[in-house]
Amino acid sequence: QYEISDSAAAAFTRGFYGALARGRGVDEAVSSGRVAIVGLHGQTLEWITPVLYLRGHDSQLFTVPEARSYANAGSQRGKVNSGRAEAHTDIKSSRQPRVTSRLRSRGPSHLVRAFIGHTAGVHCVTFSPDGTLVASAGSDKTVRFWEAGDGTAVRRLTGHTGPIYGIDFSPDGNILASVGARDRTLRLWETASGAPLRRLIGNTSEVRWVVFSPDGNLLASAGSDQTVRIWDVSTWTAVRTLTEHTAAVHCVAFSPDGNMLASASSDQTVRIWDVSTWTALHTLTGHSYSVSSVSFSPDGKLLASVGGDKTVRLWDPSKGIAVRTLTGHTELVYSVSFSPDGDLLATASGDKTVRLWDASSGAPVRSLTGHDSSVTCLSFSPDGTLLASAGSDNKVRLWG
């Protein structure tokens, strides 16, 4: 209904045609296009410019047929020009592993909404165990809760005196843990009310990450003092300090069965610990720069790590051996996470993108763009249909 800028038009086009390609009605496609415009930056009003005039009640333009596999598509092309089709197939497979159409059609592919409210860079984001809430925190010293369904801001938690680098929900969803840089504390909050429950002190430098064990009995925190601290949730006391890293520890992750803990450090290593004895099982080397994030696959058979060398590395955590190295990001990689079904791997980078990879082959699936600066953290929803990403542009984006 009015003139529109090139950037807004491009954003609308991506959202609109992406929705149509997924079989959505034209009215839903217009809504997706508008949301994509909002995602450019929170102050724009250009989302009101696209309008839909619909005659009748049927907004479904066409039915999207079941996607054919790459092999079938290749054989169909071959009927027209078999030589050209075969040559194309050979070249394609020699460059990178194939991604099946099943994987291409799965996983987040478009911007659903942007959560706007943080006044400084957002460093961490996570879904509640039931998938209804998204929690985020960052340099504005606040933790914020949002409704995952419609993006409504639920509450804002204050108390930290410096940037917040890590948050995690307890397995039952009743408690949120957060860790701060400047105040060197680990804080616990009641999810339902946002009330502060407890403040844990022990690290001698800024705390970088926090995670609950799968059974909820333990809490692990990572710090710039080169330690990993283990807390007993029943007493909220520190029961163990792991000290083998020789530089700041940025991230910790429990295996799905709770038997292993992985830690990532600026000493360019990932260490895997036996939770029953707290002895180091393996030291994984290969990164040529600081390691910023680690994530176990849902079956515990793979461990992913990312870091300043711009690579994504996959390991066999039980054997402590390298499996595969994925390349494609052009800046350091801040965060990594497996999808709940284990099919996909998501990574967030300083190159302003979120990338999805086929976890079994390492092939790139797609790249999600929209953040205006570094993407620092990401989290899949429990059902795997949504992916939240947080960035230095002060925004949390939700992809579906």
The reported pLDDT for the residue numbered 25 is 78
Q: What is the pLDDT of residue 269?
A: 98
Per-residue pLDDT reduced to its tens digit, 217-253: 999 999 999 999 999 999 999 999 999 999 999 999 9
Q: What pLDDT shows up at residue 226?
A: 95
Q: Quick one: pLDDT at residue 35? A: 73
170 pLDDT more than 50 = yes
- Which CA distances in Å does 236 have to 52, 97, 180, 202? 56, 47, 17, 11
Q: For residues 240 and 314, give the distance between their C-alpha atoms in angstroms, rounded to a whole number.
A: 28
Q: CA–CA separation, 336 vs 156, rounded Å?
A: 26
pLDDT at 159: 94
At 295 the pLDDT is 98
Dist. CA 241–CA 220, nearest whole Å: 10
Predicted confidence band of residue 87 (pLDDT cuts 50, 70, 90): very low
pLDDT at residue number 32: 75
Confidence of residue 69 (pLDDT cuts 50, 70, 90): very low
- pLDDT at residue 211 tops 90: yes
Q: What is the pLDDT of residue 322?
A: 97
Q: What is the pLDDT of residue 92?
A: 31
**What's residue 84's pLDDT?**
31
Task: Name which of 205, 210, 156 is nearest 187 in CA terms.
Answer: 210
Which has more confidence, 42 or 24?
24
- Between 105 and 308, the more confident residue is 308
Matching residue, tokens 């009605």: 25
State the pLDDT confidence band at 379, using cuts at 50, 70 and 90: very high
Three-class secondary structure of residue 105 per DSSP: helix
What's the pLDDT score for residue 36?
76
> Can you name the residues that pair with 346 across neighbouring β-strands?
337, 356
For residue 208, the Cα-to-chain-centroid distance in whole angstroms is 17
Residue 94 has pLDDT above 60, yes or no: no
- pTM for the predicted model, two decimal places: 0.75
Over 70: is that where the pLDDT of 306 sits? yes
* Residue 21 reports pLDDT greater than 60: yes
- Token output for 244: 């083998």
The lowest-confidence range among 71-75, 221-225, 279-283 is 71-75
Q: Return the number of other C-beta atoms located less than 10 Å from residue 10's C-beta.
A: 14
